[in-house]
Structure 1
């Protein structure tokens, strides 16, 4: 009980102390602004973003064309999942979790999510991409990017 009373009297003294207004406002701004910036950067970095490097996109498109030629779709139209050891170097550089050849396109998944995740797609004709057209943004060289959709 004595400890409790001492704590209460100490808190009362702390509340009774006057702090200069400018020092408190300036101090919280000095600390708060960097924290807000760091949180914003963290949120931005938490989500994958596509490369816009034209040379890389051309290399990925070229490798995707070779994959489509090497793994043709059978008469039943089933997609072919490429094993990790068979991924070409430019595609490996994207750090995918899956590479799938479809009829007329290649999907390179870079981050899974319950509704498709994030990734790249290669398709000479945009209509052959597997998701809704509004899910894809064009990067050039037949390459496209999608997020969860």
Structure 2
């Protein structure tokens, strides 16, 4: 028997940067990416949720929180035409693609909802004014995984614009 997509249950403390996870607590469901804050501490960038107002929020998770991991073998599919990145540095949910990194703009759960740039490769979460706004922005994207045997595709998260 094969299960697609491949998943495993683990504690949040065993996650790594770039891992796509789902968390279910009572009636709350969150799905998103583990992002490293640049100092080795993982946070969750929420991309899909059934809780109003939490999409694209960056939040800490308790280390022993049980999560369902989809791993790091996922793909971002960009949809639509690129826009100048400088216009979208404070636009939660936008994918910014620059020469040195690719990131998604989120918001801090605390600190009055400051805009944060969450690097998808590399390690770092930065305030929107910490790095120059260069490159291109994409308002529409999907994170998908593809079964290597059947080529079946499943969407894990997508922008909601």
- Structure 1 length as normaliser, TM-score? 0.24
| Structure label with greater radius of gyration | 1
Flag the structure with more relative contact order, 1 or 2, with Cα contacts below 8 A and sequence separation at least 6: 2
Q: Which has the higher helix share?
A: 1
